[in-house]
Amino acid sequence: MATIAVLGTFDTKGDEHGYVASLIRERGHQTLLIDVGTLEAPRLQPEIPRTEIAAAAQADLSAIVAQRDRGQAVAAMTRGAPVVLARLHQEGRIDGVISLGGGGGTAICTAAMRALPVGFPKLMVSTLASGNTAPYVGVKDIVMMPSVADVAGLNRLSRTLLAQAAGAICGMVEAKVPTVATDRPVIVASQFGNTTPCVTRARTQLEAAGYEVMIFAATGNGGRTFESLIGSGLVAGVLDITTTEWADELVGGVLNAGPTRCEAAARGGVPAIITPGCLDMVNFGEPASVPAKFADRRFYHHNAQVTLMRTNPEENAELGRILAEKCNLSTGPLTVLFPLGGISVISAPGQPFHWPEADAALFRAWRQHLRANIPVVEYPGNINDPEFADLCVQELLYNLQKRTPVAR
């Protein structure tokens, strides 16, 4: 029997949380009711009251209630709820968490969920789940379920969806993860559809060499998660094949991973290799989403929801400078590898993004700004050639064997 935290604003959504809690208990699990409401009396009696959440945020709840300032109330609960939930997890008092919310509730409760480790069951039923969920999910494994209608009363639609949500969180805590005895060191790799052949071949070889390989999609949130895991200290080596998120960060695409992408391995001294995988493309949504200022650029329609724009020589020169500066932060063994025959599937000769001059600008600037004692290896073919993957593995294994800081 597990204990599932039912977390939410019990003043406005107490009936709905109570309904979910009752269904969880019918499944044989216990519930721990946690109230993060502020402005009205709770409609559901909690085991952990809002005063405890406010105290964790060092906030004066009575003053917030007196002012009836919803923004201040949400901010206080957003600070306090993560502290309380993290403590409950550390004490072994909860095995999963579920919440239901609109804008304020989603902000508060996903902040609390982000304080919990990856692998801990987390489910957020939200009016915001069909939009951009990145600010709510962050780099954690929060399941966002659309509420479809507002979380406002129990009716034939909400009862159905909330019953499914209760079943989902119960299923998550009941799931048994097969135990695999392994002490293999972890290597993380970055991948995009346009670099999949390279990463797949490299992964097979690294696994054969005794490593466990975890692959992260270079989709913005994937890159942030990649960096977060490296920074956790759990990673032995980094296969950063796909640095494409920097193109979106620089030019304004939708899959950027922020200005600290490519820093975690460097600052942590983790043995690594890095390549310019897919820096030839900036990601947008459907064609109508591309800003008008780019009308005369070269595009490739990957699918109905993804439009790729080719980076030009000027942008690539700046990308080269930026990536060199990230590499220059390195305190551990690092090798830079350049595939001179194309940095993605579609930049190979004869493909729509083939533009040797743009690639050359990238390579030239990267070399120009790179610290002199960081080795650069050039390969004459495409990034997805088997030989290039082999070269990446060779260099990473060499760096893993060194495991000593590079002199600066």
The pLDDT value given to residue 405: 46
pLDDT tens sequence across 60-90:
888 877 777 778 888 999 999 999 999 999 9
Q: What's the CA angle centered on 193, arms 191 and 195, to 5 degrees?
A: 55
Nearest to 94 by CA among 127, 122, 135: 122
What is the rounded distance in angstroms from the CA atom of residue 204 to the CA atom of residue 378? 23
Check whether residue 151 and residue 264 sit in a common domain.
no
Q: The domain spanning residue 84 has which CATH number? A: 3.40.50.12020
Containing H/E element for 98? strand 96-101
**Is 181 a member of any domain?**
no
> Domain of 22?
3-174
Q: What's the CA angle centered on 372, arms 370 and 378, to 5 degrees?
A: 70
**Is 376 a member of any domain?**
yes
Check whether residue 125 and residue 196 sit in a common domain.
no
**Is 75 a member of any domain?**
yes
Check whether residue 79 and residue 163 sit in a common domain.
yes
Q: The domain spanning residue 212 has which CATH number? A: 3.40.50.12030
Check whether residue 169 and residue 297 sit in a common domain.
no
**Is 407 a member of any domain?**
no
How many independent structural domains does the chain possess? 2
Instruction: Give the DSSP per-residue string, 295-323.
Output: TTS-EEEEETTEEEEE--HHHHHHHHHHH
- Classify residue 159 by its DSSP letter: H
What is the rounded distance in angstroms from the CA atom of residue 258 to the CA atom of residue 220? 8
**Is 44 a member of any domain?**
yes
Domain-terminating residue out of 135, 150, 174: 174
User: 340 Cβ partners below 8 Å, 6+ apart?
Assistant: 359, 363, 378, 379, 380, 381
Check whether residue 238 and residue 324 sit in a common domain.
yes
CB 395 within 8 Å of CB 337: yes
pLDDT tens sequence across 106-119:
999 999 999 999 89
Check whether residue 137 and residue 165 sit in a common domain.
yes
Check whether residue 231 and residue 375 sit in a common domain.
yes
Check whether residue 130 and residue 206 sit in a common domain.
no
For every one of its 408 residues, what pLDDT tens digit does the chain have, with 9 covering 90 and above? 899 999 999 999 999 999 999 999 999 999 999 999 988 889 999 999 999 999 999 988 888 777 777 788 889 999 999 999 999 999 999 999 999 999 999 999 999 999 999 899 999 999 999 888 888 998 899 999 999 998 989 999 999 999 999 999 999 999 988 876 667 999 999 999 999 999 999 999 999 999 999 999 999 989 999 999 999 888 999 999 999 999 999 999 999 999 999 999 999 999 999 999 999 999 999 999 999 999 999 999 988 889 999 999 999 999 999 999 999 999 999 999 999 999 999 999 999 999 999 999 999 999 999 999 999 999 999 999 999 999 999 999 999 998 744 444
Domain-terminating residue out of 128, 150, 174: 174
Check whether residue 244 and residue 166 sit in a common domain.
no
CA atoms within 13 A on the CB side of 393: 21
Check whether residue 13 and residue 116 sit in a common domain.
yes
Instruction: Give the DSSP per-residue string, 73-86.
Output: HHHHHHHHHHHHHH
Ranges of beta strands (E only) in 228-329 are 237-240, 272-274, 281-284, 299-303, 306-310
What is the rounded distance in angstroms from the CA atom of residue 279 to the CA atom of residue 257? 13
Check whether residue 334 and residue 385 sit in a common domain.
yes
**Is 408 a member of any domain?**
no
Q: Is the dihedral of CA 126, 127, 133, 135 positive or negative?
A: negative
Check whether residue 281 and residue 394 sit in a common domain.
yes
**Is 179 a member of any domain?**
no
Domain-terminating residue out of 119, 153, 174: 174
**Is 311 a member of any domain?**
yes
